[in-house]
């Protein structure tokens, strides 16, 4: 049995379920699965301009593993663009920050530090909140 | 004791809500019990690096326990988590500071 993969820490899941090409000539093809940790790797390296070492620490994996995840992410995106395939975001081997919630009433997103006990929205005080992990 | 920081584009209640945290122009400090507000200019808004870190330091100085902004960078997030300051993310940038304060009450 192969060794289990260490979970890659992801701060926030991608804000999309997928991307679809339009105006393409050929019919539907099989989609590309972009894992949460691959999205996070692209975000940290190419959007937040972090070095691979900094990013790997944030995600809780070694620099080499980060580089592999990042490489795989870039290849998948390139494949989707060139072969006009859909991209779908898939959970993968990610562990999300547990402490983030979204208010169902006012859509504010917030964390609850562990020194607080109330499970309420800090803006509208509603208790209709859900963990971002369940999405 | 509940003090909240809201990132703001200007120095009064009619100012727009700033989606950036470390590079917000001003910080509005709201005392949730008395409803009093005061504004502090962000000196490190134009800094080339470390704006988020310095904004967190400012927050600690002011004694805030909650911060409302549009997004937090990785460094600011890590520090705020460490100091157990609650982060609230609002994505609507068309609201004014007064409007956000109203919705908290």
Inter-chain CB proximity B74 and A48 less than 8 Å: yes
Quick: pLDDT tens for B53-89: 999 999 999 999 999 998 888 788 888 888 888 899 8
List chain B domain ranges.
3-104
**Contact indicator for B21, B55 with CB cutoff of 8 Å:** yes
Inter-chain CB proximity A110 and B104 less than 8 Å: no
DSSP conformational letter for A45: I
**Sheet of A109-111: strands edge to edge?**
A129-131, A100-103, A109-111, B86-89, B66-69, B3-8, B26-31, B37-41
CATH no. of B3-104: 3.30.420.130
Q: Which residue of A has its CA nearest to B105?
A: A124
User: How confident is the prediction along chain A (135 residues), in pLDDT tens digits per residue?
Assistant: 777 777 788 877 787 888 998 887 777 788 999 998 999 999 999 998 999 998 998 888 999 999 999 999 999 999 999 999 999 988 888 777 656 788 888 888 888 877 777 778 888 888 888 776 544
3-state secondary structure at position A105:
coil
Q: Which residue of A has its CA nearest to B83?
A: A113
The pLDDT value recorded for residue B92 is 80
Q: How far is A79 from chain B (nearest CA, A)?
A: 29
Supply φ then ψ for residue B55, to 5 degrees.
-65, -40
**Contact indicator for A36, A10 with CB cutoff of 8 Å:** yes
Inter-chain CB proximity B86 and A109 less than 8 Å: no
The pLDDT value recorded for residue B27 is 94
**Contact indicator for A88, A31 with CB cutoff of 8 Å:** yes
pTM, two decimals, is 0.61
Distance CA A91, CA A3 (A): 19
Q: Which residues of B touch A (CB under 8 A)?
A: 66, 68, 73-74, 77, 81, 84-91, 100, 103-104
């Amino acid at each position: 049995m192969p060794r289990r993969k260490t979970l890659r820490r992801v701060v926030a899941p991608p804000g999309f379920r997928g991307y679809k090409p339009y105006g393409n000539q050929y019919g539907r093809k099989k989609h590309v699965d972009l894992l949460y940790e691959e999205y996070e790797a692209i975000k940290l390296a190419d959007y937040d301009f972090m070095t691979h070492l900094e990013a790997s620490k944030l995600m809780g994996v070694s620099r080499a593993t980060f580089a592999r995840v990042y490489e795989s992410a870039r290849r998948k995106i390139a494949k989707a663009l060139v072969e006009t395939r859909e991209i779908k975001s898939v959970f993968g081997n990610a562990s999300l920050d547990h402490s983030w919630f979204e208010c169902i009433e006012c859509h504010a997103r917030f964390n609850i530090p562990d020194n607080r006990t109330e499970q309420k929205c800090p803006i509208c005080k509603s208790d209709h909140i859900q963990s971002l992990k369940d999405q | 004791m509940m003090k909240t920081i809201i990132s703001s584009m200007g120095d009064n209640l009619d100012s727009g809500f700033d989606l950036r945290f470390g590079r917000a122009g001003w910080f509005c400090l709201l005392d949730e019990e008395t409803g009093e507000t005061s504004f502090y200019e962000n000196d490190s808004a134009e800094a080339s690096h470390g704006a988020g870190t310095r904004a967190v330091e400012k927050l600690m100085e002011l004694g805030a326990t909650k911060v409302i902004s549009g997004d937090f960078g990785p460094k600011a997030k890590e520090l705020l988590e460490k100091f157990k300051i609650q982060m609230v993310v609002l994505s609507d940038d068309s609201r004014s500071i007064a409007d956000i304060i109203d919705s908290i009450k």
